[in-house]
Chain A
Amino acid sequence: MSTSVTEAPARSDVRRGRLRLDGVRKVLGGKEVVSSVDLETEPGEFLTLLGPSGCGKTTTLNMVAGHLTADGGVIEVDGRDITAVPPHRRSMGMVFQSYALFPHMTVAENVAFGLRMRKVPAADRRRQVAEMLELVGLDGMADRHPGRLSGGQQQRAALARALVVQPDLLLLDEPFSNLDAQLRVRLREEVAALQRRIGTTTILVTHDQEEALAVSDRIAVMADGVIHQLDRPREIYLRPGTDFVARFIGEVNAIEGTAAGPVADGYACTVAGETVAATPAGDPPAAGEAVRLYVRPEVVRISTDGAQGLRGTVRETRFLGSRIRCVVATPAGEVTAALPFDARVPAVGEEVTCAWRPSDASLAAR
């Protein structure tokens, strides 16, 4: 796996919650569902595990929470090895996909549960529960049972229950997937804002790329039990390191070429006789090596002034509201560009050049 690691944005005010996974493995039902996962968070970071269904995200999260025991590797929090520590002795606040609220307890009792387990005196407990409920916008719902809450309110209650114990880490397993589209967007913004405010290191599990891009400091893209790439959202999107990452997150132009050599602002390669450039996702390839370029439609610029780039003929243009989609047939295959709404729209059949900034595209060995 070519993994380019960018430094996570450090939060100077948070000192707690540095999670480290080192070669963590898990075998379930005779199949290795998580194989050698390495991961390290900064204190206060919002990190997302993104991947398709069944890739081992929940399994990884459950090993961090202690509900599953790793079959290999080490899990550390703030330098403390917790690999063999049972879940009730770890300090993890987890929100389950089903919320897992206790149906026989009121919202306040649910939130107070963790404090009760920590033997917090009743008066402190009441105050902390009330503060937390206000923080998540559930004041006035304290005496309701979870069955009488809407999906969004249940989600907030689960979040309050996880956060009130001031855990080392907040673990969120697809917390928004049971909500309708509008609420999903609103709640994820709220959770991201709350996380930034209180600074608890957070691991979010999701299969929704947009969600991951919107809320995370960094994203770990996972497939078949391995992390393919761990990077900031912008890098993950613009500079995918593997074919899987490129195709899993949105639309991409995958262009095949031959490595030429480093240039000032990237790495040049030859594609169908033309020279284009991109940024190597991992170690730079050797000259002459077969490579593949990943270029997002949004970064492709189309010009008619004979600038350097991939030359081709406009095959189709389509107005899509927020963008104009333009397909250009080049000797290296079709290249799709998503032009801003006020761009000049080339005519079908026109000879154009497709170009991009080398820092906005990636290249990896084939």
Chain B
Amino acid sequence: MAAVGRVAGGSLNRSGRRTGLLLALPAILIFALLFVAPLCTLVANSFRTQTGAFTLDNYQRFLGDPFYRDVLWNTLKVAALTTIGCLVVGYPFALYLRGRSPRVRNWLALLLLSPLLISMVIRAYGWLVVLGPQGPVAAVIEWFGLTPPQLLYNDTAVLIGMVHVMLAYMVLPLMGSLDRIDRTLVPAARGLGASGWTCFWRITLPLSAPGMLAGAMIVFSLTASSFVTPAILGGPKVKLMPYFVYTQATVTLDWPYAAAIGFVLVVVTTGLLLAYSRLLRRGGGEVVFG
């Protein structure tokens, strides 16, 4: 997610550029140490046998097995659905916040961030109670005289839990993007004959694309690599990549294979994000990625 930002206009002079580099150095070092180095080790490991010899076996095993291809597909599907869910829930919320007074905004933003203040495990167990057979959701459905469907240990449960956690990552960049839109643009469009809906589709939505893009990227990549919430709410039936990385590494103790699964996920996710960003940029978006 490091390279999401607006295009800067103009170029800095040389000394300015050097100062900038110097100021960015701590961040670059931390990034290299904590992210690039482990990733290199991971890649190196994934091309080794258990004894350390070079091999392509791990990748062949992964890509040749329909079961694992299915897991990969399911992971991307859950990540994409979570992203769409966050967008569908988050966009109206961000729009609503835009029109409120700073006081109301602060309170609602706190509410939005509150899931991030609680441990993931506790939050997931909370959903277990809410969605469980004795929980309030089931009670309401029964009250209407219907048999409650299975709400836990499936993709839907994971989706609900993930949207809850990820919502803030979608809404915050969206709010930033919406706030940057000149507030006279919609009146200007209205005056030229556009209805409220037309204003939304032609003005507000396209101009908030940078926020949507940033939010979608964060939510998608965090969801694709999330472990705790899917593990608790999805149980063993919902098969996602991070779960298999975990079992290969800690149960089977096949570290090279775990590394290969992990790296496949990184490559596929990054590739998708790049393609997505390219697509949006061609559509006139201002954000660059990679």
Task: Specify whether A and B are partners.
Answer: yes
State whether A87 and B190 are in contact (beta carbons under 8 Å apart), knowing that A100-B182, A100-B184, A100-B185 are contacts in the complex: yes
Within 8 A of B (CB), among A235-286: none
Q: Which of A90, A100, A118 contacts B188 (CB 8 A)?
A: A100
Q: Which of B191, B202, B206, B207 contacts A88 (CB 8 A)?
A: B191
Most chain A beta-carbon contacts within 10 A, residue among B185, B198, B206: B185
Report yes or no: A94 in contact with B193, Cβ–Cβ below 8 A. Answer: no
**Nearest-CB distance from A90 to chain B (Å)?**
8
Report yes or no: A103 in contact with B207, Cβ–Cβ below 8 A. Answer: yes
Report yes or no: B192 in contact with A67, Cβ–Cβ below 8 A. Answer: no
Report yes or no: B198 in contact with A96, Cβ–Cβ below 8 A. Answer: no
State whether A87 and B187 are in contact (beta carbons under 8 Å apart), knowing that A98-B182, A104-B284 are contacts in the complex: yes
Interface digits, B174-202 against A, CB 8 Å rule (1 contact, 0 not)? 00000000101101111111110010001
Is A176 part of the contact surface with B, judged by Cβ < 8 Å?
A: no
Report yes or no: A118 in contact with B185, Cβ–Cβ below 8 A. Answer: no
State whether A165 and B192 are in contact (beta carbons under 8 Å apart), knowing that A65-B187, A100-B187 are contacts in the complex: yes
Is A199 part of the contact surface with B, judged by Cβ < 8 Å?
A: no
**Nearest-CB distance from B245 to chain A (Å)?**
41
Q: How big is the A interface, by class?
A: 20 to 34
Within 8 A of B (CB), among A92-106: 92-94, 96-98, 100, 102-104
**Across-interface contacts of A88 in B (CB, < 8 A):** 190-195
Is B28 part of the contact surface with A, judged by Cβ < 8 Å?
A: no
CA distance A104 to B198 in the complex (A): 15
Is B203 part of the contact surface with A, judged by Cβ < 8 Å?
A: yes
Q: Which of B182, B190, B193 contacts A67 (CB 8 A)?
A: B190
**Across-interface contacts of A113 in B (CB, < 8 A):** 189, 192, 194, 202
Interface digits, B223-263 against A, CB 8 Å rule (1 contact, 0 not)? 00000000000000000000000000000000000000000
Within 8 A of B (CB), among A33-80: 62, 65-67
**Across-interface contacts of A118 in B (CB, < 8 A):** 193
Is A20 part of the contact surface with B, judged by Cβ < 8 Å?
A: no
Q: Chain A: which residue is nearest B206 at the CB level?
A: A104
**Across-interface contacts of B203 in A (CB, < 8 A):** 102
Query: What are 11 A-B residue pairs whose CB atoms fall within 8 Å in the complex?
Result: A66-B190, A66-B191, A67-B187, A87-B187, A87-B190, A100-B184, A100-B187, A103-B207, A104-B206, A113-B189, A113-B202
List the 9 closest A-B pairs by CB distance, nearest first: A117-B193, A114-B192, A100-B188, A100-B184, A87-B190, A96-B184, A67-B187, A94-B191, A88-B190
